[in-house]
Amino acid sequence: MVSSGKMSDQNYSNPTPQFTTAEYAEAPSGDRCAACNQHLTARYYRVNGRMACEGCTEQIRLRLPQDSHALYIRGLVFGLVAMVIGLVLYAGFTIVTHFYIGYISLAVGWLIGKAILKGSNGVGGRRYQITAVILTYAAVSLAAIPIALASRSEQTAANPAVQSNSQPSGEGQAAPHGDSETEPNAKMSLGTALLTLALLGLASPFLELQDPLHGVIGLVILFVGIRIAWRLTQGRGTANIEGPYDNAAPASVMR
């Protein structure tokens, strides 16, 4: 019969060693595993500074989420989808109700943080947090573009302007070569316009500081939403595993 290496309280009443087995002494001062509360034997680990046996340490390793490039890309895709949804919800609510409620940015931050965490299977960390911050800020700030376009469209519909047709009718009939030359310029103008809109949208939270009270309140609420996304993407707690450590040498060795 082979001893399992664990000593029960009865072992102290029978100090005579069994020479047919290798007996290991327990940890000094009767240390126990912080997880299963069993006595530690020859080898142990430290998990976040607390002593743990080999079996519990292995179970902790298996439960820990393992980060990878594929998981980060998956989390990023989920975050981008959540960013679009948050942008649409933020802009749509403002356009439909004509109420500008900055507190929606809190929901946007929560949505993006949860989406990234879902995509990464619970893995979090600094790069996930930075991604969540960028996507949350982008969703809230870029929502200003459709809001501004909708507001301008409503103003135009309410006060229709008379458009002058000063362009000669023959000017629109250009030669085929002329069309091919002006087409790249038109595309470049469209690209420049989209880039300008994007930059204005990203700067919109700070441009609103022209109205100091409204602008400061909006920035504070936005930063709270960003903090929500940051904290959510910390992910499940990680464990700092150290060891194994040799606790004691064999009391006797089978010959």
Structure confidence by residue, pLDDT tens digits, 108-121: 999 999 999 999 98
Average pLDDT for 233-241: 71
Residues 104 and 214 in one domain: yes
pLDDT score of 225 more than 70: yes
Residues 204 and 97 in one domain: yes
- Cα end-to-end distance, the chain, whole Å: 15
Residues 20 and 94 in one domain: no
Q: Could you list the residue range(s) of the whole structural domain that residue 96 is in?
A: 69-156+191-232
User: Quick one: pLDDT band at residue 230, thresholds 50, 70, 90?
Assistant: very high
Which residue has better confidence, 98 or 248? 98
Q: What is the pLDDT of residue 11?
A: 41
Pairing of strands 250-252, 50-52: unpaired
Q: What is the pLDDT of residue 188?
A: 57
Q: What is the pLDDT of residue 166?
A: 46
Average pLDDT for 184-209: 78
Average pLDDT for 225-241: 83
Residues 34 and 86 in one domain: no
pTM of the shown model: 0.62
In a domain, 78, yes or no: yes
- Supply 81's token pair: 């989808």
Q: Is 39 helix (H, G, I), strand (E, B) or coil?
A: strand
Distance CA 226, CA 224 (A): 5
Residues 246 and 139 in one domain: no
Looking at the structure of the chain, the number of domains it has is 2
Residues 213 and 246 in one domain: no
Residues 248 and 152 in one domain: no
Which residue has better confidence, 170 or 229? 229
Count of Cβ atoms closer than 10 Å to residue 255 Cβ:
5
In a domain, 107, yes or no: yes
pLDDT score of 252 more than 60: no
Average pLDDT for 38-56: 84
In a domain, 56, yes or no: yes
Residues 40 and 126 in one domain: no
In a domain, 147, yes or no: yes
Which amino acid, residue 56? C
User: Quick one: pLDDT band at residue 67, thresholds 50, 70, 90?
Assistant: confident
Average pLDDT for 78-104: 91
Cβ-in-10-Å burial (0-12, 13-18, 19+) of 219 comes to: middle
Count of Cβ atoms closer than 10 Å to residue 7 Cβ:
17
Residues 31 and 148 in one domain: no
Q: What are phi and psi of 64, to 5 degrees?
A: -70, 135
Residues 118 and 244 in one domain: no
Q: Looking at residue 28, what DSSP letter applies?
A: G
In a domain, 75, yes or no: yes
Residues 39 and 109 in one domain: no
Distance CA 53, CA 56 (A): 6
Residues 25 and 82 in one domain: no
In a domain, 179, yes or no: no
In a domain, 167, yes or no: no
Which amino acid, residue 158? A
pLDDT score of 190 more than 60: yes
In a domain, 3, yes or no: no
